[in-house]
Amino acid sequence: MGVAAMAAFMGVRDAISTGAGGVAASVAMAAGGSPDAALNFGDGAVLPYSPAKVKAAPRGRASSWSSLLLLLGRTRKLAKVRLLLAAGVLLALVLLASPVGPPIGWNHQPSSSASSPSRDGYMVLINTWRRTSLLKKAVAHYASCPKTDAIHVVWSENDPPPESLKTYLRNIIMSRSRNSQKPKLQFDLNEEDNLNNRFKPINGLTNDAIFSVDDDLLVPCSTLEFAFTVWQTTPDTMVGFVPRMHWLDEEKNGVVYYKYGGWWSVWWTGTYSMVLSKAAFFHRKYLDMYTYKMPSTIHDYVTRERNCEDIAMSLLVANVTQAPPIWVKGKIHEIGSYGISSLAGHNKRRNNCLNDFISLYGAVPLVSTNIKAVDAREEWFW
């Protein structure tokens, strides 16, 4: 036993033998207790506070002061621990009692159909054009996803789909679907090749959710199911996998011009204001609004330019919700080798579309955000 430890032990022993109740009183008061508190030394002996013993206690012995300082140090440490524990409990109670709101940028607005019972699944809306091999792969894949209730194919070719193709797709749905209720297949036929066709209203839908996708994009079922749960929390919003952005470019003669930013702009800035309908969930009501309530000049623009129907839909939804879309982080597989985006001058045409549409709206309905939805089960750190 060291000298200091021995001195402390001797001091405590002497204090007990001489009736050092003043030590007990001092420790009790230092810990916030009453001077009437008792000191328990752990062996069952409890010494009550006594003014007479305080006066009788020797004041000049170093051992008594050592024991007093040791006890005071221990008491202060104990008091700090208790204070920290009390602060932690108080903070937890405050957090539990406070209302938890959505994060900045996630502006939830309850849908008028929020209480609709038909929100347990979704319809997959596939836009295709002269790529039968890709269409077969897309139908086979989405038929295997558990929440797929129906598959609609937007067909805008001159000739109707051959019966052999219909039979093949129905058979592949029956073999790939894991649901007892197999998804229904329907071709939505159009007389002309027009990108507005992909947003025409559809009769007989049993669910509110529509997953709009191009025939050359495959989203893994688990990722698709997660995006669907995100959409269910805010069914008025577009929820998708392909983010895009806009930003103020310049002002000429009192006219403000905006830039359209692709994926690398989103990656560089960490900001987006659109999710493209080539892989996105939205409410079926937007099909009616796109066709009947959106300015017809925008329909004419899309028909003439053969482009930008996805920007038009993003502007429409933003104009209704006054909120940003939600980008879901997830890996998607592109199985096609070409498309409109691969044509020369694509970015310039998208810039023109964005500015022309904004001028037709008379305002900028797009709302930027840096929030994205991530499935924590797929992340190492979250």
pLDDT at 254 over 50: yes
| Residue 90's pLDDT band (cuts 50, 70, 90) | low
How would residue 24 be classed by pLDDT, with cut points 50, 70 and 90?
Answer: very low
Catalytic-labelled residue, pool 193, 310, 356, 375: 310
Annotated active-site residue 249? The verdict is no
CB-based burial label for 210 (10 Å; 0-12, 13-18, 19+): buried
Reported confidence tier of residue 169, pLDDT bands at 50, 70, 90: very high
Tell me which residue of 43, 42, 51 sits closest to 20, measured CA to CA. 51
Q: What is the pLDDT of residues 299-327, one digit of tens each?
A: 999 999 999 999 999 999 999 999 999 99
Does residue 327 sit in helix, strand or coil?
strand
For the chain, list the domains and their CATH numbers.
122-378 (3.90.550.10)
**What global pTM score does this model have?**
0.69
Strand order across the 255-261 sheet: 255-261, 243-252, 274-275
Higher pLDDT, 119 or 377: 377
Mean pLDDT across the chain, nearest whole number? 78
The beta-strand segments (E) located in the chain are 39-40, 46-47, 122-128, 148-155, 184-189, 209-214, 217-218, 239-240, 243-252, 255-261, 274-275, 279-283, 326-328, 333-334, 372-373
Percent of the chain with pLDDT over 90: 55
Which residues, other chains included, contact 65 with Cβ-Cβ below 8 Å and sequence gap of 6+?
A: 11
32 vs 223 pLDDT, higher one: 223
> What's the rounded mean pLDDT across residues 47-61?
44
